[in-house]
Amino acid sequence: MFKGFVCAGLVLVAGQVGAQVAPSAAPAAAPAVVAPAAVKANPAMWKVQGEHETVYLFGTVHVMKPGVVWQTPKVAEAFKKSDTLYVEVAKVDDPASMQPLVMELGMDKDHPLSTVISKEDVALLDAAVKGMGFPGEVAMEPMKPWLAYMTLSVLPMLKAGYDPASGVDVKLTGDAKDSSKKIVGFETADQQLHYFADFPVPEQVALLHQELIDLPKSGAQMEEIIGSWERGDVDKIGEMENGEFRAKYPELYKKLVVERNARFADELATLLKSDKPGVAFVAIGAAHLAGPDSVQHDLEAKGFKAVRE
């Protein structure tokens, strides 16, 4: 599962924790290199027309390399016309505000991580983190398994130059504030953190273990799926992200994708039935707009057809 497409708040929290882990092991400064040319992306967007309300659906990536130009003329125009921005978490541009929740739900100094996971996984984790140029497992000792899992999954992204602060959601939220648009969050940071924090500890441990097993191939997968998003290849996103996720973690897939998509669609259907005219720009993780359980599929079942722009 590529976390860059699921749960914006969780990715930002993990990115912030990862950034705190990283500095003490920062490698020596490399020689200056010429910055790569900007990448021009063409991500997918859909339009849903209600009787009076228009909704644009835009799949986002919660982490991004600086320099990727993803605001195509169509996306920019749709955003400009909108009066309201819908995102997963309204305060996605303020990860520091989530810090108290992280301390409450993600840390447990009384039960160090090395006493919760197997000795084999401690060794794997230590080697994996050091191999990426960061401090070893000791930096994750206070973390509960779910937070260690999320942090471990984000560290390769940070090492590869991806930045949660450059994520599409963060950029759109800032632009919405600058243009005085109303910003609505489908969820709160508390809700998103609880999705993993409420998981039984044995299942958290199993997630961390699987992440350690999958880590060697995560970099290549990350580049492939980000490339799919940049090309607007929704089928590939559904295949790589939701397909693998659904097969490996059916219960977690149901909780993080199926049930959330249904709630998103319910709220949007209510909006589309409104007798007040308006335009909403909906920016949620691209995984929510791909595959058989997508928000578009749920909306169509309610009588609203999403048309790709």
pLDDT reported for residue 10:
55
Residue 274 clears pLDDT 60, i.e. is over it = yes
**pLDDT tens digit sequence for 217-230:** 888 888 898 999 99
Instruction: Band the pLDDT of 99: cuts 50, 70, 90.
Output: confident
> What torsion, rounded to 10 degrees, do the Cα atoms 77, 81, 84, 88 define?
-20
Rounded Cα distance between 274 and 209, Å, is 47
Answer yes or no: pTM beyond 0.75: yes
The DSSP bridge partners found for residue 279 are 54
| Tally of residues, the chain | 309
Residue spans of the domains in the chain: they are 3-20+40-308
Average pLDDT on 282-301 reads: 96
Rounded Cα distance between 47 and 279, Å, is 10
pLDDT reported for residue 97:
74
